[in-house]
Amino acid sequence: MDYTELNEQERNRRDSLKAMRDLGIEPYPAEAFEINATTKEIKERYKQESGNFQDVRIAGRIMTRRIMGAAAFIELQDELGKIQVYIKRDEICPGEDKTLYNTVFKKLLDIGDIIGIQGFAFITQTGELTIHAKMLKVLSKSLRVLPIVKEKEDQVYDAFSDPELRYRMRYVDLIVNPSVRETFMKRSKIMTTMREFFNEHGYLEVETPILQPIPGGANARPFITHHNALDIPLYLRIANELYLKRLIVGGYTGVYEFAKDFRNEGMDRTHNPEFTVLEIYVAYKDYFWMMKFVEDMIERVATSLHGKTLLTLGDKEIEFKAPYRRLPMLEAIKEYAGVDVAGMNEEELRAVCNKLHVQVNSTMGVGKLIEEIFGEYCEPHLIQPTFITDYPVETSPLTKRHRDNPDLTERFELFVNGKELANAYSELNDPIDQLERFQDQLKLKDKGDDEAMYIDMDFVRALEFGMPPTSGMGIGIDRLTMFMTNNSSIQDVLFFPQMRPEKEQKAEKEQ
């Protein structure tokens, strides 16, 4: 960036950078700075009577500073928190050379700079745990000014809260908003807890292709690219289901994957084109077994994260303790819409949709019409965790037909707070039925449904070698994190949510 384009504060910081180097101080040193404690460890374990933490090496960012003549207090922030540091000029600059303190610390260091400190812990006369610095080292000069987040009595009253700025500059958001760092640490713990749960059951974590010749395993619009060497189109995966089931054919009893999936569809507070999903497939199980497995897993996650299962989500309290309600989809429609749609044909369902003022289009068949009624009239009522079961065959092309009703499938979705969280099946393992279902999907595509599935003949071939009875489940990690951290927007649980290009965004505002 041209020096003349900078504001006054940015120019001052670049001048300070040059002045440091003129004094022989490298603001971005190459050598490592070894730390032996964190702010959290010191705060939790320091005991004044035992005199521990007497040789502390910590590093972090200057968040506040108060200079009082030959001494100063700063607030130093590392990954896990903040701690006060006391700096006395004559101790970090012994002898006649006062350059470091008088010139560098007083004039050239700024809020946002990263420094290393060596010293000892003590309690001040006001009762605050503090590090008494014996050595200070500049580790990185900050050339931009941090937004100042003001606090009083532990309450933030001038926050860095503009979503546009927070999501676009997540690095700043993480620096000045500790709760944001906590959200992403909880996200990591959620995934760790789930891994432990699966591994305890003896299931194998695997990896499957992200670039796929056929976008299979879900009803969604894919992103498409081109492979130059093979001269073929490839798709970013919309799901990893069909590859994981190939591994069940290959002889594994249980496999799972935390996968990045991509869908070229709309964006809103609960959808991002790139998202994380956990899919797991277990041989010799059905969807009844999977319901119990899922509710036990989610209860474990809630307990691991919060030590309890009753959690706050917005203005509601959600109880994640198992068991959860089981409610067939057609029964839900009867309960919440007051209509019994069982056995209705397409024409009759269109009449019901018209009567209920449910918007539909000509591409929708029986299954889609039923699901549209369900979405409009039932989903908003499903606040507490609820398994909606037994979906129409037309919208569940990879699912085994229901053992008691061939028009339905052995499928469930778990709903929480009116949103789908997980989707699971008794997996279809009849290769002839599977091919016919794929062919039915092509008919829907011909009617204009651009989310209908493609035919994956290699997957059909895999089934022809024989796949044992299997249950599979997919759960959105982003949405689960939203529920477990009381966030209403998916952008708040993604480090780097997809956004419009910055120049385009500025042009829109100027118009």
Where b means 16+ CB within 10 Å and e means fewer, 478-505 reads: bbbbbbbbebeebbbbbeebeeeeeeee
Q: Other C-beta atoms within 10 Å of 466: how many? A: 9
Distance CA 394, CA 391 (A): 9
pLDDT of res. 5: 78
pLDDT of res. 177: 92
pTM above 0.75?
Answer: yes
The helix (H) or strand (E) run that includes residue 176 is helix 170-176
**Residue 138 contacts residue 132 (beta carbons within 8 Å):** no
Residue where the block lists tokens 């073929």: 232
Distance CA 33, CA 196 (A): 34
∠ CA(246), CA(248), CA(250), 5° rounding?
A: 70
The letter for the amino acid at 86 is Y
Residue 323 has what DSSP assignment?
P
Distance CA 502, CA 392 (A): 43
- Non-local (6+) Cβ contacts of 360 within 8 A are 350, 353, 368, 369, 372
- Taking the chain (511 residues) in runs of 10, the rounded mean pLDDT of each run is 78 94 93 96 93 95 91 95 93 66 82 96 95 95 86 64 92 94 97 98 98 88 95 95 97 98 92 96 98 98 98 96 98 97 95 96 92 97 98 92 95 97 97 91 73 84 98 97 96 95 67 57
Distance CA 114, CA 187 (A): 26
Where b means 16+ CB within 10 Å and e means fewer, 107-128 reads: ebbbebbbbbbbbebbeeeeee
Pick the closest to residue 238 from 474, 457, 493 (CA basis). Answer: 474
64 to each of 43, 75, 83, 85, 171, how far by Cα in Å?
19, 5, 11, 10, 18
Distance CA 26, CA 15 (A): 14
For residue 259, the Cα-to-chain-centroid distance in whole angstroms is 12
User: Tokens standing for 231?
Assistant: 């001269």
User: Tokens standing for 397?
Assistant: 């092309």
User: Domain spanning 179-324+384-510: which CATH class is it, in words?
Assistant: alpha beta
Domain boundaries, the chain: 3-146, 179-324+384-510
3-state secondary structure of 299: helix
State the Cα torsion 351-356-362-367 to the nearest 10°.
-90
Distance CA 26, CA 12 (A): 17
**Residue 60 contacts residue 139 (beta carbons within 8 Å):** no
Residue 340 has what DSSP assignment?
-
pLDDT of res. 273: 95
CATH of 3-146, one of 3.40.640.10, 2.40.50.140, 3.40.50.12640, 2.60.40.10: 2.40.50.140
The letter for the amino acid at 282 is V
Task: Establish whether domains 3-146 and 179-324+384-510 are of one fold.
Answer: no
Helices (H), ranges, 201-317? 241-249, 287-306
- Residue 118 pairs in a beta bridge with 57, 135
Pick the closest to residue 93 from 66, 122, 71, 115 (CA basis). Answer: 71
